[in-house]
Amino acid sequence: MNVADKKRLLREMLFARRFEERCYEAYVERKIGGFLHLYPGQEACAFGVMEAARPGRDYVITGYRDHVHAIRCGADPKAIMAELYGKETGSSRGRGGSMHIFDVEHHFMGGYALVGGPFPLAAGMAKAIKMKGDDDIAICFLGDAANNQGTFHESLNMAALWELPVLYVCENNLYGIGTRIDRSTAVVEQYKRVSAYGIPSDQIDGQDIEVVFKAAQKAVKHVRSGKGPYFLELLTYRYRGHSMSDSNAYRSKDEEKMWSKRDPIIMLRDRLIEAGEITKDDYKAMDTEILDQIEDDIIAYAESSPEPKVEELEKYVLAENDPWVRGGKN
Ligand SMILES: Cc1ncc(C[n+]2csc(CCOP(=O)(O)OP(=O)(O)O)c2C)c(N)n1
Ligand SMILES: [Mg+2]
């Protein structure tokens, strides 16, 4: 990873952080409704892994904490914000909302509310890639608690058996809503669990983007070369509550303080400042530019976009041209 890459990644991660913080504000202002799960603290996971992959071409899937993954795949942040606002210009025409971001053009295959739902979908995507003979891969990002779902074990078994090109990335932020991992999970170290299926795995620091990138390079190479699935466990932390309805009362101040010192953006920023590649003023100017862009470009777009028409509320919710939906006729 050269200096130009690091500077770009710093900008991309800071953009993601500010985007999510602005979502928080818009929710408090009641501009965004429904569920909203934010990503601050975990940025190095999505950006580090995707840096080693082919964003927009490899197929990516994740859970409900999904805005940043979609943006990294190439989805337009304006369409994502408009989706959160429930507007017609949103990525799913405002019908999906935060947990159902989808952008097939950029191979971002969702955004799922069901914990563990994406594991088999990722295996299916990888099966399709393999049948087509492409060298794309499927990447499935999910949380630590999701690994306790049956779908995890069923999917990893089949993925290993069929040597499917799928990279499973566990963003282990130590909590499933308010339940700490050691209260719900017999084997806390997630990377060990996949040895039951003969899948190679690593546990790494998910806060240091350079570390994530390096590990992801190795994992992506393995998967793309046809050797079957790989599993990465990234140790990370979310800086906000699980969702907007979470008062975040179950974590100690000491723990939060410890992780705030391991902020992926600040760590990369300080490294670049120390190396004399950027100054504090450069960083501040970049931040201001990003904040302006989010306000003038993205928020303004979402605010000024039209609402879906009431009579069209159910339109686009089901695939209208799908023969199964119309009654099974082909
Ligand atoms: C099948 C299913 N069961 C339960 C829930 C409720 N639920 C929503 S998020 C969550 C915890 C998931 O935690 P984790 O997988 O660690 O992801 P994180 O939120 O930490 O990113 C649960 C149990 C759900 N959405 N779907
Ligand atoms: Mg978690």
The per-residue pLDDT for range 251-275, each reduced to its tens digit, is 999 999 999 999 999 999 999 999 9
- Is the CB of residue 151 less than 8 Å from the CB of residue 119? yes
* pLDDT single digits (tens) 176-204: 999 999 999 999 999 999 999 999 999 99
Helix axes 3-28, 77-84, angle to 10 degrees: 20
* Residue 39 tokens, joined: 């990503």
Q: For residue 91, how far is its CA from the centre of ligand 2 (angstroms)? A: 26
- 218 CB neighbour count, 10 Å cutoff: 13
Ligand 1: atom nearest CA of 115 is 26
- Is the CB of residue 63 less than 8 Å from the CB of residue 118? yes
Q: Of all helices (H) and strands (E), which one includes residue 179?
A: strand 179-180
- Is the CB of residue 45 less than 8 Å from the CB of residue 266? no
Pocket probe for ligand 1: among 100, 112, 115, the residue whose CB has the most ligand atoms within 8 Å is 115
Query: What size, in residues, is the chain?
Result: 330
The verdict on the CB of residue 211 being under 6 Å from ligand 1 is: no
Domains annotated on the chain, with CATH: 3-307 (3.40.50.970)
Is residue 325 predicted with pLDDT exceeding 60?
Answer: no
Is residue 329 predicted with pLDDT exceeding 60?
Answer: no
Nearest CA owner, ligand 1 atom 5: 115
Q: How far is CA 279 from CA 43, 68, 282, 286, 330, in A?
A: 22, 26, 5, 11, 62
Proximal ligand: closest to the CA of 148: 1
Residue 184: exposure state from Cβ atoms within 10 A (0-12, 13-18, ≥19): middle
- Is the CB of residue 99 less than 8 Å from the CB of residue 112? yes
Q: For residue 17, how far is its CA from the centre of ligand 2 (angstroms)? A: 18
Quote the mean pLDDT of the chain: 95
What percent of the chain is helix, strand and coil (3-state, nearest 5)? 50, 10, 40
